[in-house]
Amino acid sequence: MTIEKVHASLGELLGATERIVLGKHLIVELWSRSPELLNDVEHIRESMLAAAEGGELTVLNIAMHAFAPHGVTGVMLLAESHLSIHTWPEYGYAAVDVFTCGGLPYKALEILSERLDAERTQIVELDRGVL
């Protein structure tokens, strides 16, 4: 699996060495070797829960929807913000957002990527609430 950081955070781009950041937002392009996993609503739900646990995130609620003939949308409400996924199995693609004000967002993404058999993962990282 290849995880590529496509764009650095604003603080990194500005060369800021000391800053306060209220949240980290990972906007992720995920390409899977096993597109059938992207159509399995229960597998995606379990994968999101495993990602939250591994990323030390607090799950408050989760909503999942399977589309016909294919595709899944899932949104996990976290005490730290949210984790969401929207899949296009016919293209082997998933759009993922990991937005947290705590925990380990990269660890959560790593677990989700592994469980969805990601071949390639591209990340745009945003610092939210830069003070």
101 is catalytic: yes
Rounded to whole angstroms, the Cα distance separating 56 from 6 reads 25
Rounded to whole angstroms, the Cα distance separating 63 from 84 reads 10
Backbone torsion region of residue 21, taken as left when φ is above 0, otherwise alpha when ψ lies between -120 and 50, otherwise beta: beta
81 is catalytic: yes
Q: Tell me what the mean pLDDT of segment 76-82 comes to.
A: 97
> Of the candidates 89, 39, 45, which has an alpha carbon nearest to the alpha carbon of residue 64?
45
Domains of the chain: 2-130 (3.60.90.10)
Q: For 90-117, write each residue's pLDDT tens digit.
A: 999 999 999 999 999 999 999 999 999 9
Q: Kindly name the residue from 43, 70, 82, 86 that is annotated as catalytic.
A: 86
Q: Kindly name the residue from 70, 81, 84, 113 that is annotated as catalytic.
A: 81
Residue pointed to by tokens 């058999």? 117
25 is catalytic: no
This prediction's pTM: 0.88
Q: For 19-45, write each residue's pLDDT tens digit.
A: 788 999 999 999 999 999 999 999 999
Element holding 39 (H helix, E strand): none
